[in-house]
A and B are shown apart, each in its own frame.
Chain A
């Protein structure tokens, strides 16, 4: 499977031998168009190294789940190529499935079975049967802290317990690559932290983790590298530190009335140390060398132009600033169901 460079004519650009052997996940010009011409994923390129926790950050409808479904062999790409664990997701789909674990956004559990029965079944589907299957089930129940609830039907589980069991079902065969599609969406902060710990532990055991999320904090704290996807395109990619560093040193946020945004931008143009300005609906984000020393000048200029700011604050750039720069809008605060510790869209 690794012999040729031109193994797939569907690709606009080809996966190289290095992509296949070195990367846990590689995608080139990957596209998915649904009926009616809806372009969910538009020619994305991705390379995820083995052993990484790679984050795929974006708002609802950005194309995260469609990408995961293509990489997991659940959905064929309309164009482009992708390989997971060195295998083509279309041509070698069956082999890919043996090497990956998947916990999709919708928790895939059978409510009539107990946690133990589901895990034993899952083991069986991966060829781990009999005593081996029972032993592996016991290990996984321990791992996700569900031993006591193991013999209860899953319909009685809380959201966090279901998510942990779903995660365990993705781990029965110790996959090389683990796909987690919004694994903490809808969970309370405590359950979210538990999942984070488990992801770190799974990664420490050698699995590459591909994690989609709409939570900035999750991407920031959990991922070695991440890509930001919006409207089906990857708009930024790098380590969280790199992405934030590209934004400048400090962010001065100036909140003004929507009607005064343009005038404020004019007033603050040429501010000493200013690296970048991004206009928002109700204010400006100023990326400056030194936030604290910029404030007096910002206030002076606003007073001179008789612009009334409702708030001025200084912060280090966040991934939300990266998202803002890349898309022109914030990811933060778009989701009313967001957790207190994270930010979502």
Chain B
């Protein structure tokens, strides 16, 4: 555990000292939030049934949160480390290889909390109200950050498998279909049949719906449980795959 803490502290220090890696990841979600609200607010006024009296910004906020936390930053940091040779230094140290991954994920958690707090505050400044209050806001931030941690496993996996900076950078692009094949603009029942089917298959949909329920509906145990379940499942699968790859890295 000590080694995870040590490597986590190093990775967090890296986040703090290298804001250039985090700031661009905030630009897109904030840009989308502002543009989407600007374009669609009149189409979907607060009297729209699915908004339940809230502004469209409240509906869009979870989508921007997803965008803010789902990054390939950790994967990029890892592949850079592989490139620079520091990764070998860690591999030859008497530590569990899993601690290298878990240390990186610690930084994702910290970064996720920071970025999702910022996006949430911007959303509130743009008029969103959190139906579940401060406690709900805290849960939203934590769940969004945990989703970021779960998704980071994918970037780490690509970094370890390809050992290529460009490939790891490009891995972020996969998130676009995952984010847009969801009820991101309208609820499930307002999507076309094909899109609705795809959105139902897409696990990210349930994270958005869960977070959205905290913003618009109030405490909805069912949607929250599914949201948590999806985040945990994604985390187990993606982190598990990364741990497996690092365990066998250069051992064959």
A positions within 8 Å CB-CB of B? 72-76, 94, 97-98, 100, 102, 104, 106-113, 117, 121-122, 124-127, 129, 153, 169
Contact = CB atoms under 8 A, between A and B. Distances in A.
B14 A94 contact: no
Nearest to B80: A111
A41 to B, nearest CB: 15
B225 interface: no
A139 B17 CA distance: 27
Max chain B Cβ within 10 angstroms of own Cβ: one of A74, A113, A124:
A124
B10 A109 contact: no
Interface string B235-252: 000000000000000111
B92 A110 contact: no
B173 to A, nearest CB: 26
Given A108-B87, A112-B18, 4 more contacts: A97-B92, A102-B92, A109-B84, A127-B2
B185 interface: no
B92 A72 contact: yes
Interface of B: 2-3, 6-7, 10, 13-14, 17-18, 81, 84-95, 250-252
Given A108-B86, A110-B81, A125 B92 contact: no
B91 A125 contact: no
Max chain A Cβ within 10 angstroms of own Cβ: one of B2, B17, B86, B91:
B86
Contact of B86 (A74, A100, A109, A117): A109
A122 B93 contact: yes
Given A74-B250, A106-B85, A94 B13 contact: no
Contacts of B92: 72-74, 97, 100, 102
A121 B2 CA distance: 11
B84 A113 contact: no
A129 B5 CA distance: 12
A8 to B, nearest CB: 17
A117 B93 contact: no
